Amino acid sequence: MKIFKKIICFIIVFASASCSKEWLELDQPGNNDKPYFVDASTAFEAVIAAYDVQAWRMNVVSLWAVGSIMSDDAVKGGESNGDQQGMYDCMNFNATPNTDVPSWIWSDLYRMIARASFAVDIMVEKDPAGEYTLSMDESLRNRYIAECRFLRAYCYFRLVRNFGGVMLYTSAEDDGTTHGSDLSNTRATVSEVYDQVERDLLFASQNLPATIPLSEQGRATKGAADGLLAKTYLYQEKWAQAKAQCEVVMNSGLYGLEPNYSDVFSSAKQWGQEVVYSLHMVEDPDGNWGEHEGSWLSIWFGDRDMGWGYGFRCPTTDFINAFEPGDVRLDASVVFDGESIPGTFGGAPHDFIGGSWNPPTGFMGQKYLIPDNERPVTADCNGNLDYIFLRYADVLLMHAEASMESGDNVSAINSLNLVRNRAGLPNYDPNSPAISSYKETSLLGHSPLKASIYHERRVELGLESDRFYDLVRWGDAATVFQNFDDNGQTYGKTNYVAGCSELLPIPAGDINASNGAIEQNNCY
């Protein structure tokens, strides 16, 4: 490998700042006239450059724009349909190869893959004598490689659930370190992509630390690798493996449910025992409006007529009606008209009537809102609130589903009850009248246990980006969307077409640049 050549091209790598700054708060070293990556310190800079993409505004937006807005849980909101047209087109299943949201997902994830693969390449390169060209402690080398392979697996997991089979690059030599410079590769099959994800996660699990200090929150751990591997098995319906992998996380003793559900999404109480893996955000007290301005969660989800926010991701009435009486998660998930949130908007009640930015459904999401008193005074909508990609409640519900599918209903019910009880609900009862009211029963006709597990995933993980993908993998998406009616409004969700809408279109620029090597998804 010609490292020097790569340095000139790889100007996206950032140097770490002083120890007084957060690990993801990055400076740019620029080009160098000699090989730059020579030791552990500079290798770490390459690793951090891969993590960096996760904090980019569009990468975070694309997570919930698909998983939540394309589901029956939420609609786009905003000032008008043309406000973030790409989100609107995704919501009503009218996205095209020129729509920006799929392009954000595609380009950012491949950019992260390129950065992660580059970092691995520089750490495994050997000279003609068989010695590593980059000098560092072997255990640290393996950890850094494991972090990069975890990030690569995370990217391919997201790519395969959004686009199906995609091109596989496992070395920066494959694509020249920047996405798009080599599009001669053809799409791998879905199974081949998942195989690559599994290989990377197995290596990560064996070489990542079980715990990290609070100052490193957001870096990958063994639990993150094990949890994502469980999810990878679940999506492939490898039920026994998914069940066993969930139990690895459950038996580690490192994770648990937060007693107070709303604390999971609080900037003041984040990084608790429930977080398995989160996308780390760095606070920018200057409130800059770029890729590194801190958490964008409040500005995207908040209500503009109350002082800040774009009002995207508005809960549907259908979602609100899914909650059973007494479920504490409803108030922790949704802001109702006239409700006051301490520390937000000066304590004034929310008024959703009469403004151009009001939520079209009449509700605003509450998860990830950062109260005024927890944000820098100088920043309009800033903060350091991380976006949780995987949490322990998800692991428990994956375990419940995989156990049920494996024929172990006792274990399934035990895990299900842990989640229900934290929400203030009684244990699962197959004869409960509430189950008959679930959409999973009344519309989809699932058995009581399956309906309860599916339903629990919806209300527990609501507005957290999994719902659309769950409906697709369960085979329920077409029925749910084609029957969607939210107080007489469909928000275009009835446009869903089975065999087409399950996947997003591959960006047109990449299709065209590949000269026929990359095939477009069906119906686009």
Residues 158-193 pLDDT 10s? 999 999 999 999 887 654 334 444 556 789 999 999
Q: Is residue 397 part of a domain?
A: yes
Of the three residues 460, 481, 512, the one that is the final residue of a domain is 460
Same domain, 392 and 261: yes
522 compared with 286, residue with greater pLDDT: 522
Query: Which strand (E) or helix (H) includes residue 277?
Result: strand 275-279
Confidence of residue 55 (pLDDT cuts 50, 70, 90): confident
What letter would DSSP give residue 494? Answer: G
Q: Is residue 330 part of a domain?
A: yes
pTM above 0.95, yes or no: no
Q: Is residue 328 part of a domain?
A: yes
Same domain, 415 and 372: no
**pLDDT at position 344:** 64
What CATH number has the domain bearing residue 238? 1.25.40.390
Q: Is residue 355 part of a domain?
A: yes
Is the Cβ–Cβ distance between 84 and 75 less than 8 Å? no
Q: Is residue 92 part of a domain?
A: no
Q: Which two tokens stand for residue 288?
A: 């800059």
Numbers of helices and strands, H then E, in the chain: 21, 8
Same domain, 402 and 256: yes
Round to whole Å and give the CA distance between 304 and 309.
5
DSSP-H helix ranges across 258-391: 297-301, 317-320, 329-333
What is the residue whose two structure tokens read 């679930």?
Answer: 438
**pLDDT at position 340:** 76
Q: Which two tokens stand for residue 509?
A: 């620029």
Handedness of CA 336, 342, 343, 349 (dihedral sign): positive
Q: 3-state class of 386 per DSSP?
A: coil
Domain containing residue 409: 221-279+386-460
Round to whole Å and give the CA distance between 252 and 179.
37
Q: Percentage of residues in the chain with pLDDT exceeding 90?
A: 65
233 compared with 351, residue with greater pLDDT: 233
**349-363, 381-395, 438-452 — which one is most confidently predicted on average?**
438-452
Burial grade of 40 (CB within 10 A; 0-12, 13-18, 19 or more)? middle
Same domain, 350 and 230: no
Same domain, 410 and 352: no
Same domain, 307 and 379: yes
Is the pLDDT assigned to residue 476 strictly greater than 90? yes
Round to whole Å and give the CA distance between 316 and 359.
10
Is the pLDDT assigned to residue 149 strictly greater than 60? yes
Same domain, 244 and 267: yes
Integer-rounded Cα radius of gyration of the chain: 23
Is the Cβ–Cβ distance between 366 and 332 less than 8 Å? yes
393 compared with 337, residue with greater pLDDT: 393
Is the Cβ–Cβ distance between 74 and 359 less than 8 Å? no
Confidence of residue 385 (pLDDT cuts 50, 70, 90): confident
**pLDDT at position 241:** 98
Same domain, 250 and 390: yes
Is the Cβ–Cβ distance between 49 and 285 less than 8 Å? no
Query: Which strand (E) or helix (H) includes residue 202?
Result: helix 190-207
What is the residue whose two structure tokens read 């290798």?
Answer: 43
Q: Which amino acid makes up residue 306?
A: M
Strand boundaries in 382-501, DSSP class E: 387-391
Round to whole Å and give the CA distance between 138 and 146.
12
Model confidence pLDDT, tens digit, residues 408-422: 999 999 999 999 999
Is the Cβ–Cβ distance between 62 and 507 less than 8 Å? no
Q: Is residue 144 part of a domain?
A: no
Q: Is residue 452 part of a domain?
A: yes
Round to whole Å and give the CA distance between 341 and 18.
37
Is the pLDDT assigned to residue 223 strictly greater than 90? yes
Model confidence pLDDT, tens digit, residues 280-322: 887 666 655 555 455 667 677 766 655 566 778 899 999 999 9
**pLDDT at position 319:** 98
Of the three residues 329, 357, 385, the one that is the final residue of a domain is 385
Model confidence pLDDT, tens digit, residues 18-42: 333 465 554 433 333 336 788 999 9
Same domain, 330 and 316: yes
413-440 burial, b if ≥16 CB within 10 A, otherwise e? Answer: bbbbbbbbebbebeebeeebeebeebbb
Model confidence pLDDT, tens digit, residues 364-384: 888 887 777 776 654 555 667
**pLDDT at position 160:** 98
Same domain, 304 and 379: yes
**pLDDT at position 9:** 37
Of the three residues 385, 401, 434, the one that is the final residue of a domain is 385
- DSSP bridge partners of 279: 387
Same domain, 363 and 346: yes
Is the Cβ–Cβ distance between 349 and 340 less than 8 Å? yes
**pLDDT at position 32:** 38
Is the pLDDT assigned to residue 336 strictly greater than 50? yes
Model confidence pLDDT, tens digit, residues 229-276: 999 999 999 999 999 999 999 999 999 999 999 999 988 888 899 999
Instruction: Provide CB contacts within 8 A for 249, sequence distance 6+.
Output: 223, 226, 227, 230, 255, 276, 392, 395
What letter would DSSP give residue 486? Answer: B
Is the pLDDT assigned to residue 14 strictly greater than 50? no
Q: Dmax of the chain from CA atoms?
A: 74
Query: Which strand (E) or helix (H) includes residue 145?
Result: helix 138-163
Closest-CA residue to 1 (of 141, 118, 148, 136): 118
**pLDDT at position 308:** 61
What letter would DSSP give residue 264? Answer: G
Is the pLDDT assigned to residue 432 strictly greater than 80? yes
Confidence of residue 12 (pLDDT cuts 50, 70, 90): very low
Average pLDDT, the chain: 86
Same domain, 380 and 451: no
The count of structural domains within the chain is 2
Q: Is residue 242 part of a domain?
A: yes
